[in-house]
Amino acid sequence: MGTLKTEPARARLDLLAPPVAAAVERWPDEAPVDVDEVLVAPIDAELADTAAFCAAYEVGLEESANCVVVAGKRGGETRYAACIVLATTRADVNGVVRKLLDVRKASFAPMAEAVELTGMEYGGITPIGLPEEWPILVDARVIATPHVIIGSGVRHSKIALPGPALGALPGARVVEDLAKPAA
């Protein structure tokens, strides 16, 4: 996990966005990953974007996961999903994601909309604590990664947890080839 100084997230709820902190507080005892394996580390908010973060904290892109909010419309209804992919890949938004959402066209949700709906900061959105009705689509490569670093809901910290934990979140669905290698 590079040079990150991690500690259990439930001991540092102040480093998490409110919906993320609430999700950590109600982490189920029967979850396949113990809540104490969900770690958080403070970072410089100016270094929250993936490339800058990985360089500054010596974290490999293959250990860094991104959470992107995707939206599509069907019959006048907007459908949202969170896609979790490794930083070495890009979500196949208009292929796999569009089909899974059952919409004609899918795209990244506008920044203001994503922030308002999640209660999280742009650039820090994480699948932990998202609206319950949203599917969480997790690329199979993410859960095959022993530990990943992902947003914490705010730009001034990151969460570190076992990759398989992301596939076990409520509403999560592991999808083969959800992402394509980054160009």
CATH topology of domain 7-181: YbaK protein (3.90.960)
Cα–Cα distance, 35 to 16 (Å, whole number): 14
Q: Please report, for the chain, the start and end positions of each structural domain, with discontinuous segments joined by +.
A: 7-181
pLDDT score for 39: 97
169: its two tokens:
């979140």
Instruction: Give the pLDDT of residue 32.
Output: 83
pLDDT of residue 1: 80
Cα distance between the two ends of the chain? 25
Collapsed DSSP state (helix, strand, coil) of residue 38: coil
Stretches where the chain sits below pLDDT 70 are none
What is the reported pTM? 0.94
Q: Which amino acid is at 113?
A: E
